[in-house]
Amino acid sequence: MKNTRKYIASLITIILTSVVLLFTQTTYLDAQCCRSGGHSGHGGGGSSHEHNKAKDDIKSELIREGEIDLKAIDVNEDGKVFQDQMHWNVISDSKGDCPICNMELKEVTLKMAKDNLIKNGFEVKQDI
């Protein structure tokens, strides 16, 4: 009986030590990572430890607000833009993913994009 208790006690000590060690290590790595400027190691999606703040800012430019000017979005003037099929106000002039749901943007004509927006209650500049 005494031996079992001793065994459990040492087991708990080992577990506690590992947890503390793990925690210390993670904190240390995080701190290291935040200090260094380049975040090349964070390319993989799905990680909860994201540092792509600047990238997110650029991406969120795709989320259009207020009266949407599709002609202004179509910078290369090919009459087509890329629009998210779930978030209609996410529109880009080039291929990409929706910053909200990560779905691939679908290539549509300006007219289609405009119709989609109006159908879904968005304001669109009426000059197409």
Closest approach, Cβ 63 to Zn ion, in A, equals 9
Q: How far apart are CA 82 and CA 76, in angstroms?
A: 12
Residue among 39 and 100 whose Cβ is closer to Zn ion: 100
Residue among 26 and 94 whose Cβ is closer to Zn ion: 94
Residue among 83 and 114 whose Cβ is closer to Zn ion: 83
Complete DSSP assignment for the chain? -HHHHHHHHHHHHHHHHHHHHHHHHHHHHHHHHHHSS--GGG-STT-S----HHHHHHHHTTB--SSB-HHHH-TT-SSEEEE-SSSTTBEESS--B-TTT-PBPEEEEHHHHHHHHHHTT--B-S--
Q: How many residues bind Zn ion (CB under 5 A)?
A: 6
Closest approach, Cβ 101 to Zn ion, in A, equals 3
Query: With binding defined as CB under 5 A, does residue 63 bind Zn ion?
Result: no
Looking at beta carbons, which residue is closest to Zn ion?
98
Query: With binding defined as CB under 5 A, does residue 84 bind Zn ion?
Result: yes
Query: With binding defined as CB under 5 A, does residue 105 bind Zn ion?
Result: no
Closest approach, Cβ 88 to Zn ion, in A, equals 9
Query: With binding defined as CB under 5 A, does residue 86 bind Zn ion?
Result: yes
